Homo-oligomer: A and B are copies of this chain.
Amino acid sequence: MKRESAGTVPEGASRSAGIVETKYMTIAEPPQALKLESGESIGPVTLAYETYGTLDPDRSNAILVLHALSGDAHAAGCHQGEEAPGWWDAMIGPGKPFDTDRYFVICSNVIGGCKGSTGPSSTDPQTGKPYALEFPFVTIADMVNAQRRLIDLMEIDRLLCVAGGSMGGMQALQWVASYPERVRSAIPIATALKHSPQQIAFNEVSRQSIMADPAWRNGNYYGIGQPERGLAVARMIGHITFMSDQSMEEKFSRRLKKERFSFNFDANFEVEGYLHYRGANFVKRFDANSYLYITKAMDYFDLSGGRLINDRKVDTRFLVISFKSDWLYPAYQSQEIVRQLKQKQIDATYCELKSTYGHDAFLVELEGQTTLIHHFLEKTYRGERNGNGYRR
């Protein structure tokens, strides 16, 4: 994308969030430790995050964006010296749906992860060694509690919006469940109130693949080398579930890597080569133990049965988005979110977008999302500025 200065940008054009850097918040104020759902505590806790745009003087334009399983705080713009933009760069920036000319966008990483926040690969202050499996079990609610400390630190009373896809959507839902008074609106995308047994099963097979690798060493592999082969297989399973039958057909069909089929167990088909490539890349950037902890947090997550909206005074507005070809987080799961909201008279808009990209659609199917999110945020923002809360 051509970079232009603000003055010469034609109306409607979108630009990059520019050069950004990841920041870190460590809970320094008492209580320094974070009390977890399991009953255990952990501390000190560091959270990696990025921000784009400027916080209004009245601190009313903050949007919290949340990432999926293997994502990180780097959602938009570019890091100095790097070419690849953040994972949701198409959606966040000046003139983009999460318009940084208007909104102050925060993207927060999660505890349990390996992207700058406290997780199993962090040093346990009690032992001076990485936590490994001594790291306590964390839930989506624990992740959100840590993020709340970040929002407290920024002195933001109420977020204009929390938004995210997949596990990011779970966090958005959890924000409403835990702190409804602090969330003006929410955009859960391609997500669910709880994992189905099929979703749990795919995660469990991925975990089994990691733990079956002798290099996993019961989690104590730091300084030796992580279980790359098991983690790569786990990621390959993931990638199949992120795509759709149709998108794989369009992308690979039965094309061969070489001109003729080779009678051996190498990657003969392009789709095999793609999976190998994805698996090999992933192990360079993600910690196997974090994969175990985070997938378990997703499986444990359950806001069904009235747990999403347990306070009748909730006035959070919702935009719920699903994608037609997403079979990992099927549309019926988003519809169930909407059903729960409507039962509690919550203002909710639902849209099932056409897409062949499967679950990946929340990252790559831009057009439909752009329009929906742009208008939803604008209406929420205007409502917030025109009075104490949103007016229809």
Would you give the shortest CB distance from A215 to chain B, in whole angstroms?
9
- A197-B251 in contact (CB<8A): yes
| Given A137-B263, A200-B272, A240-B205; A302-B212 close (CB under 8 Å) | no
- B240-A271 in contact (CB<8A): no
Chain A: interface size category: 35 or more
What separation, in Å, do the CA atoms of A248 and B201 have in the docked complex?
Answer: 9
- B205-A275 in contact (CB<8A): yes
Would you give the shortest CB distance from A259 to chain B, in whole angstroms?
15
Q: Mark A235-255, 1 if CB is under 8 A from B, else 0.
A: 011011001010011011110
Residue of B nearest to A39 (CB): B263
Question: Which of the candidate stretches A27-35, A94-102, A225-233, A310-318 sits at the interface with the other chain?
Answer: A225-233
- A212-B197 in contact (CB<8A): no
Q: Which of B202, B233, B245, B270 contacts A240 (CB 8 A)?
A: B202
Q: CB of A5 within 8 A of chain B?
A: no
- B272-A204 in contact (CB<8A): yes
- A211: B residues at CB distance < 8 A: 265
Within 8 A of B (CB), among A36-95: 38
Copies in the complex: 2
- B254-A302 in contact (CB<8A): yes
Q: CB of A359 within 8 A of chain B?
A: no
Within 8 A of B (CB), among A260-280: 261, 263-265, 267-272, 275-276, 279
What separation, in Å, do the CA atoms of A237 and B271 have in the docked complex?
Answer: 17
Q: CB of A196 within 8 A of chain B?
A: yes
Would you give the shortest CB distance from A127 to chain B, in whole angstroms?
20
* Across the A-B interface, the 8 shortest Cβ-Cβ residue pairs: A212-B229, A137-B263, A197-B271, A197-B248, A197-B252, A38-B263, A204-B272, A205-B236
Interface residues of A, Cβ cutoff 8 Å to B:
38, 133, 136-137, 194-198, 200-202, 204-205, 207-209, 211-214, 229-230, 232-233, 236-237, 239-240, 243, 245, 248-249, 251-254, 261, 263-265, 267-272, 275-276, 279, 292, 296, 299-300, 302, 327, 330
